[in-house]
Amino acid sequence: MSEQDDLYQRAAEEYGAALGRLARGYEADPDKRRDLLQEVHLALWRSLDGFRAQCSLRTWVYRVAHNTAITWITRQKRGRPQMLVSLEELDATPAPPDAGRRLALDRLTQLVQRLEPRDREVILAYLEGMDAAAIGELTGLSARNVATKIHRIKNLLARYFHEGAGHAG
Amino acid sequence: MPDDLYPSADRYPSADPRNLWQGQEVEKILLTAAEIRTRATHFERRVHRRNLREYVAGAVVIVLFSMQLGRVQGWRLAPALLSILATIYVMFQLHRRASARPLPADAGLKTSIEFHRGELERQRDAARGVWRWYLLPFLPGAVAVLFVAGIDRGINARLIASGAFSLLVFVGICALNEKGARRLDSKIKELKAMETENA
């Protein structure tokens, strides 16, 4: 096996679940999600040929995955336009009535899927447990921008899930 | 749908969205080296097939104009020949500028802002230069068609209306693409501002 193949196996084992969640954040349709996930894996494998530890493997994997997914939703939007909103816009709209928490995960997924790509990437990274510095490295956003977005995300999630905005990155 | 694919928040007493998100079961794929090489080849083929479809319309235009070549002679061949050349040139440009392509291999090196900006710039440049690489090549052929029609049937209202309509279509395509390019430009500026903040 080549070094590229070895790296891919390592990345897929370590971050495979995160990639699956990321695909869910970007694509609601299960069949298309499978296609997206496969595209992410292919892009990852192809990209690892150029991996020279310029950043951590995790950052590399997430960058490739988000960049692939953003390209994917841009392509999907051309054929199926949908209204995506920013964190600011979502924060300004009332939270839906509490459905007794039973469908909390569905609500969270739908919330993520409504966001425009830039904000979706930040919220997905936040949900994956990345801290502000890692989110900045992944997205290229300034520390101030990341801090503002995380603050909004916490408020938004607190409103949607009645959760104190306690911990953060 | 199996319950554990979408566990409810009741199973996460704190309803911490991070726990909820990370605790969900999702489809994982782990491909062997051989599998991924096979799928990569399939994927490349699919991309090529998608691009191929874009050329079919061009091929139909070429066939239609080629059929005219047999019916006329001398300088009257000019409209069909110029239109065939224009179609070939535009197909080449479409392939170069706007065809579907796999994700660039350096996607892991670029932050998403850089990557996204690069993609938007590519689309903007293709839209902004559309008059030069998409419309202008067809102009000599269109002018030649009108010229031949004018010689054969004289300048009449129908000919003038055809010329005016062609001009309107050209200007309309230019205006729509310019509008699209300006919209992309404002998005690119937003992304650049975010990057400058980091510099």
Q: Which residue has the higher pLDDT, B49 or B98?
A: B49
Rounded mean pLDDT of A59-65? 93
Place of tokens 């050349």: B85
pTM of the model: 0.68
Predicted confidence (pLDDT) per residue in B82-136, tens digit: 999 999 998 888 777 755 555 666 777 788 888 888 888 888 888 888 888 888 9
d(CA B36, CA A41): 8
- By Cβ distance, the residue of A43, A129, A140 closest to B107 is A43
- Phi/psi at B127 (5° precision): -70, -40
Q: Which residues pair with A115 in a beta bridge?
A: A85
Q: Report the alpha-carbon distance of residue A99 to residue A162 in Å, rounded.
A: 12
pLDDT band at B191 (very low <50, low <70, confident <90, very high): confident
For tokens 């951590």, name the residue. A56
Quote the pLDDT of residue B88: 92
pLDDT at residue B198 in the model: 59
A121 shares contact with chain B (CB less than 8 Å) = yes
Distance from CA of A89 to the nearest CA of B (A): 17
Per-residue model confidence (pLDDT) at position A63: 93
Task: Say whether A85 sits in a helix, a strand or coil.
Answer: strand
pLDDT of residue A53: 86
CA dihedral defined by A126, A131, A137, A140, rounded to 10 degrees? 50
Q: How far is CA B110 from CA A27, B105, B124, B153, in A?
A: 23, 10, 19, 60
Please name the member of A102, A105, A140 whose beta carbon is closest to the beta carbon of B24: A105
Residue type, A125: A
Give A52→chain B minimum CA distance, Å.
10
Residue A31 has pLDDT above 80, yes or no: yes
CA gap A25, A120 in Å, rounded: 8
**Which residues have CB under 8 Å from A62's CB, separation 6+?**
A15, A18, A22, A125, A130, A138
Contacts of B119 in chain A (CB under 8 A): 71, 74
Show the DSSP H helices in chain A as ranges.
Answer: 3-26, 30-47, 57-79, 87-91, 104-114, 117-127, 132-139, 143-161
pLDDT of residue A162: 64
What mean pLDDT value characterizes chain B? 81
**pLDDT over 90 (residue A124):** yes
ipTM of the complex as predicted:
0.80
What is the percent of chain B where pLDDT is above 90? 19
Residue A166: per-residue pLDDT: 41
Residue B47 makes CB contacts below 8 A (sequence gap 6+) with: B100, B101, B102
Question: How many whole angstroms separate alpha carbon B137 and alpha carbon B56?
Answer: 19
Q: Estimate to the nearest angstrom the gap between the alpha carbon of A18 and the chain centroid.
A: 9
Q: Is the pLDDT of residue A47 over 80?
A: yes
Mean pLDDT of all residues in A82-100: 65
Query: Torsions phi, psi of A83, nearest 5?
Result: -85, 115
DSSP annotation of B70 reads T
Where is average pLDDT lowest: A17-21, A28-32, A141-145, B38-42? Answer: B38-42
Q: Which pLDDT score is estimated for A93?
A: 67
CB pairs under 8 A between A and B: 178
pLDDT tens, residue by residue, B154-183: 888 989 998 999 899 989 989 998 998 999
Q: Which residues of B touch A (CB under 8 A)?
A: 6-10, 12, 14-18, 20-22, 24, 26-31, 33, 36, 39-40, 43, 102-103, 105-116, 119, 194-195, 197-198
Contact A8 B107 (CB under 8 A): no
Nearest to B36 among A42, A60, A142 (CB): A42
Tokens matching residue B41: 């080849």
